[in-house]
Amino acid sequence: MDFLEALARPPLVLGVDPRPGLHGKEPIPHLRRYSLEVLEALAPRLAAVKFQLAFFEALGPEGMALLLELASGARVMGLPVLFDGKRGDIGSTAEAYAEAYLLRFPGSALTLNPYLGLDALEPFFRAAQRSGGAVFVLAKTSNPGAGFLQDLEVGRRPLYLHLAEVLAEEGRRYLEGPWSRVGLVVGATYPEAVQRVREAAPHAPLLLPGVGAQGGKPLKGPGLLNASARALFYPRGRPDLEGALEAAEALLAALVE
Ligand SMILES: O=C(O)c1cc(=O)[nH]c(=O)n1[C@@H]1O[C@H](COP(=O)(O)O)[C@@H](O)[C@H]1O
Protein backbone atom coordinates (compact mmCIF):
# COMPACT_ATOMS: atom_id res chain seq x y z
CA MET A 1 0.00 0.00 0.00
CA ASP A 2 1.12 3.54 -0.77
CA PHE A 3 -0.21 6.30 1.50
CA LEU A 4 -0.91 8.54 -1.49
CA GLU A 5 -3.73 6.14 -2.45
CA ALA A 6 -5.62 7.95 0.33
CA LEU A 7 -6.00 10.89 -2.06
CA ALA A 8 -8.17 8.77 -4.36
CA ARG A 9 -10.48 7.70 -1.52
CA PRO A 10 -13.38 9.60 0.13
CA PRO A 11 -11.86 12.79 1.64
CA LEU A 12 -12.57 11.98 5.28
CA VAL A 13 -10.04 10.97 7.96
CA LEU A 14 -11.21 9.24 11.13
CA GLY A 15 -9.25 10.37 14.16
CA VAL A 16 -8.94 7.71 16.84
CA ASP A 17 -8.22 9.43 20.16
CA PRO A 18 -9.37 6.90 22.78
CA ARG A 19 -10.89 8.12 26.05
CA PRO A 20 -10.71 5.12 28.43
CA GLY A 21 -13.28 6.72 30.76
CA LEU A 22 -15.96 6.12 28.12
CA HIS A 23 -15.29 2.37 27.87
CA GLY A 24 -16.56 0.95 31.14
CA LYS A 25 -14.83 -1.03 33.86
CA GLU A 26 -12.46 -2.89 31.55
CA PRO A 27 -11.65 -0.16 29.07
CA ILE A 28 -8.97 -1.81 26.92
CA PRO A 29 -10.96 -4.86 25.69
CA HIS A 30 -14.05 -2.69 25.15
CA LEU A 31 -12.04 -0.04 23.32
CA ARG A 32 -10.37 -2.74 21.20
CA ARG A 33 -13.70 -4.22 20.13
CA TYR A 34 -15.33 -0.84 19.49
CA SER A 35 -12.34 0.48 17.50
CA LEU A 36 -12.25 -2.60 15.27
CA GLU A 37 -16.03 -2.36 14.68
CA VAL A 38 -15.81 1.32 13.79
CA LEU A 39 -12.83 0.76 11.51
CA GLU A 40 -14.57 -2.07 9.70
CA ALA A 41 -17.84 -0.15 9.27
CA LEU A 42 -16.26 3.15 8.22
CA ALA A 43 -13.25 1.97 6.18
CA PRO A 44 -14.93 2.25 2.74
CA ARG A 45 -15.97 5.83 3.59
CA LEU A 46 -12.51 6.98 4.69
CA ALA A 47 -9.32 8.27 3.12
CA ALA A 48 -7.34 7.14 6.16
CA VAL A 49 -7.41 6.54 9.89
CA LYS A 50 -5.35 8.81 12.13
CA PHE A 51 -4.17 7.44 15.45
CA GLN A 52 -3.23 10.13 17.97
CA LEU A 53 -0.19 8.57 19.68
CA ALA A 54 -0.61 10.53 22.93
CA PHE A 55 -3.88 8.83 23.78
CA PHE A 56 -2.38 5.37 23.24
CA GLU A 57 0.80 6.23 25.15
CA ALA A 58 -1.39 7.41 28.04
CA LEU A 59 -2.86 3.90 28.26
CA GLY A 60 0.57 2.42 29.01
CA PRO A 61 2.03 -0.75 27.48
CA GLU A 62 -1.42 -2.20 26.78
CA GLY A 63 -2.32 0.95 24.92
CA MET A 64 0.81 0.73 22.79
CA ALA A 65 0.02 -2.91 22.00
CA LEU A 66 -3.50 -1.86 21.03
CA LEU A 67 -2.14 0.87 18.74
CA LEU A 68 -0.03 -1.67 16.88
CA GLU A 69 -2.95 -4.07 16.62
CA LEU A 70 -5.31 -1.40 15.28
CA ALA A 71 -2.71 -0.07 12.83
CA SER A 72 -2.16 -3.61 11.53
CA GLY A 73 -5.93 -4.19 11.39
CA ALA A 74 -6.45 -1.03 9.32
CA ARG A 75 -3.74 -2.13 6.90
CA VAL A 76 -5.40 -5.52 6.49
CA MET A 77 -8.63 -3.62 5.66
CA GLY A 78 -6.68 -1.69 2.99
CA LEU A 79 -7.14 1.56 4.93
CA PRO A 80 -4.14 3.95 4.91
CA VAL A 81 -2.76 4.73 8.39
CA LEU A 82 -1.63 8.10 9.67
CA PHE A 83 0.30 8.30 12.94
CA ASP A 84 -0.31 11.63 14.66
CA GLY A 85 2.83 12.16 16.73
CA LYS A 86 3.87 15.67 15.65
CA ARG A 87 7.48 14.51 15.75
CA GLY A 88 10.49 16.70 15.10
CA ASP A 89 14.07 16.56 16.43
CA ILE A 90 17.71 16.87 15.36
CA GLY A 91 18.55 14.78 12.30
CA SER A 92 19.94 11.70 14.05
CA THR A 93 16.89 11.42 16.33
CA ALA A 94 14.58 12.20 13.41
CA GLU A 95 16.07 9.12 11.70
CA ALA A 96 14.90 7.00 14.64
CA TYR A 97 11.37 8.47 14.63
CA ALA A 98 11.21 7.94 10.87
CA GLU A 99 12.32 4.33 11.32
CA ALA A 100 9.67 3.75 14.01
CA TYR A 101 6.66 5.09 12.14
CA LEU A 102 7.47 5.26 8.41
CA LEU A 103 9.94 2.46 7.69
CA ARG A 104 8.42 -0.10 10.09
CA PHE A 105 4.95 0.66 8.72
CA PRO A 106 5.52 1.04 4.98
CA GLY A 107 2.84 3.09 3.29
CA SER A 108 1.94 5.00 6.45
CA ALA A 109 2.10 8.72 7.23
CA LEU A 110 3.29 10.75 10.22
CA THR A 111 2.57 14.30 11.42
CA LEU A 112 5.64 16.51 11.96
CA ASN A 113 6.54 19.66 13.83
CA PRO A 114 8.81 21.91 11.72
CA TYR A 115 10.27 24.06 14.52
CA LEU A 116 13.76 22.56 14.28
CA GLY A 117 14.21 23.33 10.61
CA LEU A 118 14.60 21.64 7.26
CA ASP A 119 17.58 19.43 8.18
CA ALA A 120 15.41 17.94 10.93
CA LEU A 121 12.58 17.23 8.47
CA GLU A 122 14.64 15.70 5.68
CA PRO A 123 15.15 12.25 7.29
CA PHE A 124 11.34 11.96 7.40
CA PHE A 125 10.98 13.01 3.75
CA ARG A 126 13.56 10.44 2.66
CA ALA A 127 11.92 7.69 4.76
CA ALA A 128 8.49 8.52 3.31
CA GLN A 129 10.00 8.28 -0.17
CA ARG A 130 11.58 4.89 0.56
CA SER A 131 8.50 3.41 2.22
CA GLY A 132 5.69 4.73 0.00
CA GLY A 133 4.54 6.90 2.88
CA ALA A 134 3.88 10.59 3.48
CA VAL A 135 4.36 13.27 6.09
CA PHE A 136 2.11 16.12 7.18
CA VAL A 137 3.99 19.13 8.54
CA LEU A 138 2.17 21.53 10.89
CA ALA A 139 1.64 24.84 9.08
CA LYS A 140 -1.41 26.50 10.66
CA THR A 141 -2.82 24.49 13.55
CA SER A 142 -6.50 24.39 14.50
CA ASN A 143 -6.21 25.78 18.04
CA PRO A 144 -7.25 29.31 19.05
CA GLY A 145 -3.67 30.32 19.92
CA ALA A 146 -2.18 29.07 16.65
CA GLY A 147 -1.31 32.59 15.50
CA PHE A 148 1.13 33.23 18.38
CA LEU A 149 4.05 32.09 16.21
CA GLN A 150 2.40 30.88 13.03
CA ASP A 151 0.97 34.30 12.03
CA LEU A 152 4.16 36.28 12.68
CA GLU A 153 5.07 38.24 9.60
CA VAL A 154 8.01 36.99 7.55
CA GLY A 155 8.65 38.88 4.32
CA ARG A 156 5.14 40.43 4.36
CA ARG A 157 3.30 37.13 4.81
CA PRO A 158 2.51 35.00 7.83
CA LEU A 159 5.08 32.44 8.90
CA TYR A 160 2.75 29.53 8.12
CA LEU A 161 2.56 30.67 4.50
CA HIS A 162 6.32 31.10 4.28
CA LEU A 163 6.65 27.54 5.56
CA ALA A 164 4.11 26.30 3.01
CA GLU A 165 6.06 27.97 0.18
CA VAL A 166 9.39 26.50 1.33
CA LEU A 167 7.92 23.02 1.76
CA ALA A 168 6.13 23.22 -1.59
CA GLU A 169 9.55 23.75 -3.16
CA GLU A 170 11.16 20.93 -1.11
CA GLY A 171 8.18 18.71 -1.82
CA ARG A 172 8.84 18.83 -5.59
CA ARG A 173 11.60 16.29 -4.98
CA TYR A 174 9.05 13.89 -3.52
CA LEU A 175 6.33 14.03 -6.17
CA GLU A 176 4.47 10.87 -7.09
CA GLY A 177 2.10 11.73 -9.92
CA PRO A 178 0.16 14.88 -8.99
CA TRP A 179 0.85 14.69 -5.25
CA SER A 180 3.91 15.18 -3.09
CA ARG A 181 4.79 12.96 -0.16
CA VAL A 182 5.31 16.20 1.78
CA GLY A 183 1.89 17.30 3.00
CA LEU A 184 0.85 20.09 5.35
CA VAL A 185 -1.53 20.43 8.28
CA VAL A 186 -3.97 23.36 8.28
CA GLY A 187 -6.81 23.54 10.78
CA ALA A 188 -10.30 23.32 9.28
CA THR A 189 -11.05 26.08 11.80
CA TYR A 190 -9.12 28.51 9.53
CA PRO A 191 -10.69 28.04 6.08
CA GLU A 192 -9.00 31.15 4.64
CA ALA A 193 -5.61 29.71 5.67
CA VAL A 194 -6.54 26.45 3.91
CA GLN A 195 -7.18 28.44 0.74
CA ARG A 196 -3.88 30.35 0.99
CA VAL A 197 -1.85 27.22 1.71
CA ARG A 198 -3.52 25.37 -1.17
CA GLU A 199 -2.47 28.18 -3.53
CA ALA A 200 1.09 28.26 -2.15
CA ALA A 201 1.52 24.46 -2.21
CA PRO A 202 -0.63 23.07 -5.04
CA HIS A 203 0.87 19.56 -4.88
CA ALA A 204 0.79 19.10 -1.11
CA PRO A 205 -1.91 16.90 0.40
CA LEU A 206 -3.52 18.98 3.15
CA LEU A 207 -4.67 17.42 6.40
CA LEU A 208 -7.48 19.53 7.89
CA PRO A 209 -8.07 18.61 11.55
CA GLY A 210 -10.64 20.31 13.73
CA VAL A 211 -13.76 19.25 11.80
CA GLY A 212 -16.65 18.80 14.25
CA ALA A 213 -15.70 19.16 17.91
CA GLN A 214 -13.48 22.23 17.33
CA GLY A 215 -16.08 23.92 15.14
CA GLY A 216 -14.42 23.39 11.74
CA LYS A 217 -16.63 22.65 8.72
CA PRO A 218 -15.59 20.09 6.12
CA LEU A 219 -13.92 21.66 3.08
CA LYS A 220 -14.13 20.36 -0.45
CA GLY A 221 -11.24 20.45 -2.92
CA PRO A 222 -8.43 18.43 -4.47
CA GLY A 223 -6.06 16.93 -1.92
CA LEU A 224 -8.04 18.15 1.12
CA LEU A 225 -8.31 15.47 3.82
CA ASN A 226 -10.90 16.48 6.44
CA ALA A 227 -10.10 15.00 9.84
CA SER A 228 -12.51 14.54 12.69
CA ALA A 229 -11.88 12.57 15.88
CA ARG A 230 -14.42 13.09 18.69
CA ALA A 231 -17.37 13.92 16.39
CA LEU A 232 -16.85 10.67 14.44
CA PHE A 233 -15.47 8.24 17.03
CA TYR A 234 -17.68 9.37 19.92
CA PRO A 235 -20.56 10.98 17.96
CA ARG A 236 -22.90 11.54 20.88
CA GLY A 237 -20.13 11.89 23.41
CA ARG A 238 -19.76 8.13 23.82
CA PRO A 239 -19.02 4.94 21.83
CA ASP A 240 -21.87 4.59 19.30
CA LEU A 241 -21.35 2.58 16.13
CA GLU A 242 -24.62 3.63 14.45
CA GLY A 243 -23.94 7.26 15.31
CA ALA A 244 -20.41 6.99 13.89
CA LEU A 245 -21.80 5.74 10.58
CA GLU A 246 -24.40 8.51 10.49
CA ALA A 247 -21.80 11.16 11.30
CA ALA A 248 -19.48 9.87 8.54
CA GLU A 249 -22.35 9.85 6.02
CA ALA A 250 -23.35 13.40 6.99
CA LEU A 251 -19.79 14.71 6.61
CA LEU A 252 -19.33 12.92 3.30
CA ALA A 253 -22.63 14.25 1.97
CA ALA A 254 -21.15 17.73 2.36
CA LEU A 255 -17.94 16.66 0.57
CA VAL A 256 -18.91 14.39 -2.30
CA GLU A 257 -21.63 14.92 -4.89
O1 LIG B 1 -2.16 16.97 13.57
C2 LIG B 1 -3.34 16.91 13.95
O3 LIG B 1 -4.04 15.95 13.68
C4 LIG B 1 -3.89 18.07 14.64
C5 LIG B 1 -3.44 19.29 14.24
C6 LIG B 1 -4.11 20.46 14.64
O7 LIG B 1 -3.81 21.56 14.22
N8 LIG B 1 -5.19 20.32 15.46
C9 LIG B 1 -5.63 19.11 15.92
O10 LIG B 1 -6.64 19.08 16.65
N11 LIG B 1 -4.95 17.98 15.58
C12 LIG B 1 -5.33 16.68 16.13
O13 LIG B 1 -6.61 16.33 15.65
C14 LIG B 1 -7.39 15.74 16.68
C15 LIG B 1 -8.59 16.64 16.96
O16 LIG B 1 -9.63 15.91 17.36
P17 LIG B 1 -11.16 16.42 17.42
O18 LIG B 1 -11.13 17.84 17.82
O19 LIG B 1 -11.72 15.51 18.45
O20 LIG B 1 -11.73 16.21 16.05
C21 LIG B 1 -6.48 15.57 17.87
O22 LIG B 1 -5.87 14.29 17.81
C23 LIG B 1 -5.42 16.62 17.66
O24 LIG B 1 -4.19 16.25 18.22
**ipTM, 2 dp:** 0.99
Residue 168 Cα to ligand 1 middle (Å):
22
pTM, whole model, 2 decimals? 0.98
Mutational test site, ligand 1, from 51, 52, 86, max ligand atoms within 8 Å of CB: 52
Report whether 221 contacts 9 (CB < 8 A).
no
DSSP string for 42-95: HGGG-SEEEEEHHHHHTTHHHHHHHHHHHHHHHHHTT--EEEEEEE---HHHHH
> How many distinct structural domains can be found in the chain?
1
Report whether 181 contacts 156 (CB < 8 A).
no
The tens digit of pLDDT for each residue in 14-43 reads: 999 999 999 999 999 999 999 999 999 999
- Cβ neighbors of 189 (< 8 A, separation 6 or more) are 142, 143, 210, 214, 215, 216
The pLDDT score that the predictor gives to residue 187 is 98
pLDDT band at 7 (very low <50, low <70, confident <90, very high): very high
Catalytic residue status for 50: no
Domain of residue 65: give its range. Answer: 3-255
Ligand 1 atom with least separation from CA of 55: 22
The pLDDT score that the predictor gives to residue 252 is 96
SS3 content of the chain, % helix, strand, coil (to 5): 50, 20, 30
Residue 104 Cα to ligand 1 middle (Å):
24
* Residue 256 in this model has a pLDDT that exceeds 90: no
In DSSP terms, which residues pair with 182 in a beta bridge? 135
* Residue 257 in this model has a pLDDT that exceeds 80: no
* Residue 217 in this model has a pLDDT that exceeds 80: yes
* Residue 249 in this model has a pLDDT that exceeds 90: yes
- Ligand 1 pocket residue status of 19, Cβ below 6 Å: no
Any idea what the CATH number is for the domain that residue 174 is in? 3.20.20.70
The tens digit of pLDDT for each residue in 29-84 reads: 999 999 999 999 999 999 999 999 999 999 999 999 999 999 999 999 999 999 99
> What is the rounded average pLDDT for all residues in the chain?
97
